[in-house]
Amino acid sequence: RTQPGLSKSCRGAFQSPRPSPKSGQADGGSEDSLHLDIQKLKEKRDLLDTEISQLISEGYSVDELEDHISQLHEYNDIKDVGQMLLGKLAVIRGVTTKELYAEFGLDMND
């Protein structure tokens, strides 16, 4: 008999969301894989450190970068509002936003 409110599929054996090891894969293979991943991450870190040093030697600073990122966020927020307004205006006029781009002298890549 099924308990009230439970379907038959709820009474099955528990299956872990973690993938099971592939057949024939021993713990040593998994450990080797981890060591390889760690090595790749260390190489990536070293490459990024080199790039950072190069940018600093070219005169870039972290503060300048943070300011630039902040300005890009502000630009994107303003652009999103402009896109929303163009969309609403297009609906009101019954035209496509593409037509409005031409009317306002905007480039489709803007």
Domain presence at residue 40: yes
Domain of residue 37, residue span: 33-104
**How many domains, in total, are found in the chain?**
1
- What is the DSSP secondary structure assignment for residue 103, as one 8-state letter? H
Domain presence at residue 56: yes
pTM to 2 decimal places: 0.46
| Widest distance between CA atoms in the chain | 76
Domain presence at residue 21: no
Domain presence at residue 99: yes
What confidence category does residue 51 fall into, taking pLDDT thresholds of 50, 70 and 90?
Answer: very high
Q: What is the pLDDT of residue 22?
A: 58
Domain presence at residue 46: yes
Domain presence at residue 45: yes
Domain presence at residue 81: yes
Domain presence at residue 8: no
Across the range 82-93, mean pLDDT stands at 94
